[in-house]
Amino acid sequence: DGGITQSPKYLFRKEGQNVTLSCEQNLNHDAMYWYRQDPGQGLRLIYYSQIVNDFQKGDIAEGYSVSREKKESFPLTVTSAQKNPTAFYLCASSRLLAGSYEQYFGPGTRLTVT
Amino acid sequence: LAKTTQPISMDSYEGQEVNITCSHNNIATNDYITWYQQFPSQGPRFIIQGYKTKVTNEVASLFIPADRKSSTLSLPRVSLSDTAVYYCLVGVGDNYGQNFVFGPGTRLSVLP
C-alpha cells in the first residue's frame, strides 16, 4: 500500500531536549510538508520541501529544523528553542509543490513536552 | 497570500444537505481551492478540488462563483460519520510557491 507513515504516534520528552519526528512516503512525491496543529485549531505550516536537498520555511519555522536528503524522507527536529512544542504534528506530501495537487497526510505524531 | 474565512461550526441532522461556504477575497489567478476533512487525532483527507464553476465527485460538490472570491462545499444527505472538521485550502497552481493557507476549519456536527 502506498502512503505516508509517521512515527512514533505518541512521543514524550523533557523540556530542553531536541526530538526528531519521522516522516516517510512511498508515493514517489516530490513535495513534502510539515504542519503543526494545536487543540481546536487549524493547521499551520512549519516547513515544506519541493525537491531533495531543498526546503523552505513556512509560517512558524522558528525552533524547528528539517532535512531532505532522500525523496522519501522529511524528518522534523523540534529543538529546545521551540517555546511551546507540545502539539499534534502532521506530515504531508503531494506530487508537486502546487495548489493543484492533492496533499496526502500521515496519521500524525502527538508530542508532549513536560 | 489568500486568507480564508469559514464558519466556526455548523449543526445538521442526518439525511440533510450541508453547505459550507469559504470566503477567499484575495484569491490569486493561479490559486486552486481544495477542501479537506479531518477526524479527531487523524490527518486531513482530501475531499474535492476546483478552480472555477462546479465540480462534483462521489462524496461532494464544490461550487465556485465567477469572481472566485468564495466557494461552497456541498455534502448531500449527511450521516453521523460526516461529523468532522472541514478545511478550505487556497494554494498557488504553479511550482513556486508560496505557503498554503489552511482556513480555521468548520466543525460540522451531524445529529441523529
Determine the residue of chain A that is closest to B42 in CA distance: A107
Instruction: Dump pLDDT digits (tens) for B30-41.
Output: 888 999 999 999
Phi-psi region of B47 (alpha: psi -120 to 50; beta: other; left: phi over 0): alpha
Q: Which residues contact A100 (CB under 8 A, 6 or more apart)?
A: B32, B49, B51, B91, B93
In this structure, how many other beta carbons lie within 10 angstroms of the beta carbon of residue B112? 7
- Please tell me which of the candidates B31, B104, B105 has its beta carbon nearest to residue A99: B31
Q: What is the pLDDT of residue B32?
A: 87
Strand A31-37 relative to strand A54-57, pairing = unpaired
Q: Do B93 and A107 touch (CB under 8 A)?
A: no
**Is B102 within 8 Å of chain A by CB?**
yes
CA distance A4 to A44: 19
Q: What is the pLDDT of residue B29?
A: 85
* B67's grid cell: 469572481
Q: Over chain A, what is the mean pLDDT?
A: 92
Instruction: Work out whether the CA dihedral A102, B81, B40, B90 comes out positive or negative.
Output: positive
CA distance B72 to B44: 18
Q: Decide which of B101 and A112 is more confident.
A: A112
* A31's grid cell: 513535495
Q: DSSP assignment of A1-65, as one string?
A: ---EEEE-SEEEE-TT--EEEEEEE-S--SEEEEEEE-TT--EEEEEEEEETTEEEE-TT-TTEE
Q: What is the pLDDT of residue B89?
A: 87
* B50's grid cell: 476546483
Report residue B101's pLDDT band, with 50, 70 and 90 as the boundaries. Answer: low
Extended strands (E) in chain B: 9-13, 18-23, 32-38, 45-50, 53-56, 61-64, 70-75, 84-91, 101-102, 106-111
Instruction: Dump pLDDT digits (tens) for A39-84.
Output: 888 889 899 998 999 999 988 999 999 999 999 999 999 999 999 9
Q: What is the pLDDT of residue A21?
A: 96
For the segment B39-45, the average pLDDT, to the nearest whole number, is 93
Q: Coil, strand or helix: which one is B43?
A: coil
**Is B31 within 8 Å of chain A by CB?**
yes
**Least confident among A57-71, B15-29, B81-95:** B81-95
